[in-house]
Amino acid sequence: MDCIQVRGIRCYGYTGYLPEEQVLGQRFEVDLTLWLDLATAGKTDAIEDTLDYRSAIASIQHIVKTSKFALVEKLASAIALAILEYDKVHQVKVRLTKPAAPIPDFGGEISVEIIRSKTF
């Protein structure tokens, strides 16, 4: 199976366990790996024979901006389910990163990575 990778989708959202995270919001970054058959697109050079990743990016940005979940795991799952709605996508890997986790004396980032597949 072929794949398309889209990295560095940055958006501002309101998912977080702490109440202030759902009020003040924070930045998130999403990386995707999309598994699909690219053979036809490789022959035809036609965008309708592949996934127009611009719509996938817009969908992710909308989900991050409008969702208020307590857990990043739920947000990552919502993103994966939305991407699997595209006909051509058979499987998706979502890596959701919270670059500035509100944890005292912690300057790192938190990431969740999930893989979801269509059931046929």
Domain locations in the chain? Answer: 2-117
CA 35 to each of CA 5, 14, 86: distance values in angstroms, whole numbers, following the listed order:
9, 29, 11
In this prediction, residues 94-113 reach a mean pLDDT of 88
In this prediction, residues 35-58 reach a mean pLDDT of 96
Q: What are phi and psi of 59, to 5 degrees?
A: -65, -45
Residue 57, pLDDT > 70, answer yes
Q: What confidence tier does 34 reach under pLDDT thresholds 50, 70, 90?
A: very high
Per DSSP, which regions of the chain are E strands? 2-13, 26-36, 91-98, 110-117
List the CATH code of the domain at 2-117: 3.30.1130.10
pLDDT score recorded for residue 120 = 62
Q: Which residues are catalytic?
A: 98
